[in-house]
């Protein structure tokens, strides 16, 4: 993204914050919500299920970039990996739940795939939540390169014995402005089907918030890219529900 365009999104975010103050939003807009079909991952997460059933243990690696690391939240507990841990612990009494936050700001799909073996061998997990696609879309990474690294990472990760949930792009001004953003979504959806990975449709969930009348300033920071406290907490809660749906479903 060019420096001029980035400054434009900063200005847009500031304008939103000024024109849409939190006190003016209807209470209904502050609710964390998603249609049930958007919380269907499309995978039964059989490895994670077995770990819960046989060892009473669920170890998760959250692999990603700045939205996984929790950039900009006012409290680390608001980052979605922390919210995921809290939600799963509450829903799965008697199960030892660990969520390892392995988000590194600014990284893209190839950097995450390159460190996947080290991350997974150092913290053997039955489930990996892999958040990617946002930086690739903003930086206009060639689609074939994105797909190659994504599939290579999934091939390696699955060979190391973990289930996967792919978390796709954010619906935020910086991504909405990117060309061919839906193409990255489609690549991730196709890879999820081929590798029996879950797909957490973050892009569609957040787009539904916006189209239902929730202003960007409710869930996005002034930079037009990173999620604020509400956005992070809500994504964490919805991801928890989606994973639980797969773990406890037929």
Residue ranges and CATH numbers for the domains of the chain are 41-248 (3.40.50.1110)
Per-residue pLDDT, 32: 95
- CA 237/CA 130 separation, integer angstroms: 16
Q: Is 0.85 topped by the overall pTM?
A: yes
Residue range 68-89: mean pLDDT, rounded = 96
Residue whose C-alpha is closest to residue 32's, from 219, 199, 198, 176: 219
Please, are residues 164 and 157 in contact by the beta-carbon 8 Å criterion?
Answer: yes
Please, are residues 184 and 168 in contact by the beta-carbon 8 Å criterion?
Answer: yes
Please, are residues 199 and 154 in contact by the beta-carbon 8 Å criterion?
Answer: no
**Residue 30 pLDDT class (50, 70, 90 cuts):** low
Q: Could you give the percent of the chain with pLDDT greater than 70?
A: 88
- CA 215/CA 24 separation, integer angstroms: 11
pLDDT value at 122 more than 70: yes
Residue range 217-235: mean pLDDT, rounded = 96
Q: Point out which residues pair with 58 in neighbouring strands.
A: 97
| Contacts of 212 by beta carbon, 8 Å cutoff, 6+ apart | none
């Amino acid at each position: 993204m060019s420096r001029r365009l980035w400054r434009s999104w900063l200005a847009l975010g500031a304008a939103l914050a000024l024109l849409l103050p939190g006190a003016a939003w209807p209470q209904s807009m502050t609710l964390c919500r998603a249609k049930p079909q958007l919380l269907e991952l499309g995978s039964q997460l059989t490895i994670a299920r077995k770990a819960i059933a046989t060892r009473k243990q669920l170890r998760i690696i959250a692999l990603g970039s700045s939205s996984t690391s929790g950039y900009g939240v006012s409290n680390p507990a608001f980052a979605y990996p922390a919210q995921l841990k809290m939600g799963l612990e509450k829903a799965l009494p008697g199960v030892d739940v660990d969520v390892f936050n392995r988000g590194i700001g600014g990284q893209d799909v190839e950097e995450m795939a390159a460190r996947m073996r080290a991350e997974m061998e150092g913290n053997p997990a039955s489930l990996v939540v892999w958040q990617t696609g946002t930086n690739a879309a903003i930086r206009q990474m060639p689609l074939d390169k994105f797909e190659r690294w994504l599939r290579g990472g999934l091939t390696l990760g699955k060979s190391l014995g973990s289930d996967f949930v792919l978390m796709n792009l954010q619906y935020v001004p910086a991504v909405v402005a990117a060309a061919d953003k839906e193409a990255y979504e489609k690549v991730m959806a196709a890879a999820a089907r081929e590798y029996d990975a879950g797909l957490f449709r973050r892009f569609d969930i957040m787009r539904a918030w916006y189209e239902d009348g929730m202003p960007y300033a409710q869930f996005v920071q002034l930079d037009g890219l990173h999620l604020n406290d509400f956005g992070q907490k809500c994504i964490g809660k919805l991801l928890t529900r989606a994973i639980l749906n797969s773990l406890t479903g037929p």
